[in-house]
């Protein structure tokens, strides 16, 4: 039974490497987004700094911050899987949910900043609560999957 389970599910170390690669790639992307935002601030780009663009600025900063944070969470999850070399249904669910949240949250914030209407963020903001819910589900699944042996 254990052999059949091992052949139908990916190696936990492969999942660990995937999350570490994803985390460092996302960290590169969102650190670059932060540099672009700092550059727009430094060069006083009106599209970013005008008082009427406060919502845009907030959405983009939140997208950058959530992207960096979730990138670090992916790296931490990958290291955890690598060190513990564990796998299971809950950890696989947590992995998928963390991947989805890592896309939904920052993309929701960043894209909502492009479609600001009268001080309100664009409709992409609807991705944010969905991403937040998926993140909480994933973190709970990961915590559940790591219970037991110390």
25-71 per-position pLDDT tens digit = 999 999 999 999 999 999 999 989 988 889 999 999 999 999 999 99
Residue 49's Cβ-count burial label (10 Å; 0-12, 13-18, 19+) is middle
User: What is the Cα–Cα distance from 59 to 51, expressed in whole angstroms?
Assistant: 14
pLDDT of res. 10: 67
Domain range annotation of the chain? 2-145
Contact call for residues 126 and 52 (beta carbons, < 8 A):
no
pLDDT of res. 86: 83
Assign 87 a pLDDT band (cuts: 50, 70, 90): confident
pLDDT of res. 123: 97
Tokens (6 digits) for 83: 């060190």
Q: Is the per-residue pLDDT at 103 higher than 60?
A: yes
What Å distances lie between residue 31 and 22, 54, 61, 149, CA to CA? 14, 21, 11, 36
């Amino acid at each position: 039974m254990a052999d059949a389970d091992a052949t139908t599910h990916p190696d936990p170390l492969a999942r660990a490497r995937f999350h570490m690669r994803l985390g460092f790639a996302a960290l590169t992307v969102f650190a670059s987004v932060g540099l672009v935002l700092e550059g727009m601030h430094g060069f006083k780009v009106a599209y970013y700094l005008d008082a009427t663009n406060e919502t845009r600025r907030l959405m983009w900063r939140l997208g950058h911050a959530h992207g960096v944070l979730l990138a670090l969470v992916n790296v931490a999850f990958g290291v955890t899987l690598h060190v513990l070399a564990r796998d299971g249904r809950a950890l696989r669910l947590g992995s998928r949910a963390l991947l989805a949240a890592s896309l939904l949250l920052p993309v929701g914030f960043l894209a909502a900043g492009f479609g600001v209407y009268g001080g309100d963020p664009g409709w992409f903001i609807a991705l944010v609560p969905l991403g937040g819910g998926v993140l909480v589900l994933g973190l709970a699944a990961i915590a559940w999957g790591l219970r037991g042996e110390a």
